[in-house]
Amino acid sequence: MSRRALGLVLGAVVAGLVLWLWPRKPKDPQQQIRALVAEIVAGAERRDLGPLSDAMADEFRGPGGASPQEVKQIVAFQVLRNQENVAVFNPSLDVTVHGDSADIEGTFLFARAKAKSVDQLDPGMVGSVYKITAALERRGSEWKFVNATYAPASWP
């Protein structure tokens, strides 16, 4: 292979890598928020409250003015009690975006079972069901929760 051909092939490979690694168009805000909630749910199932902590703004206030630490304790109680694995399901999530702020409302089921979907659950497997509403604000390129409330809900 000549030097010229080798240079063209190498140039094409480098151009391909640059295009492949080039930052993608950001997801729309609703997709970003849904991904954030999914990351928090996955963290809870792993018994990792890090994603939840990272998603709360410093001035976050929960139900009754609860601090971020108090909210983490409530969630920790749900996912860490007993030695059973916990599955967290989010069968409904409404996201409304208003520029740099957003509101969510969703149902979250905490189940002590190895079910892989909501369809595989029966009411006896579900430990707790909550309707959670929250407000978020865009901070730079991230969304942060600034407040949240929850109330017991029923399922199905």
Residue 131, strand partner residues: 107, 151
State the pLDDT at residue 125.
76
| Exposure string over 95-128, b if 16+ CB within 10 A, otherwise e | bebeeeebebebbbbbbbbebeebeebeeeebbb
* Per-residue pLDDT of the chain in tens (156 residues, 90 and over written 9): 666 655 555 555 555 555 566 656 558 999 999 999 999 999 988 889 999 999 999 999 999 999 999 988 888 887 776 666 778 889 999 999 999 999 999 999 888 766 677 777 777 777 789 999 999 999 999 999 999 999 999 877
Cβ atoms within 10 Å, residue 77: 10
Residue 88, strand partner residues: 110
Closest CA to 109 of 95, 92, 97, 134: 92
- Read off the DSSP letter of residue 119: G
Give the CATH class of 27-152: alpha beta
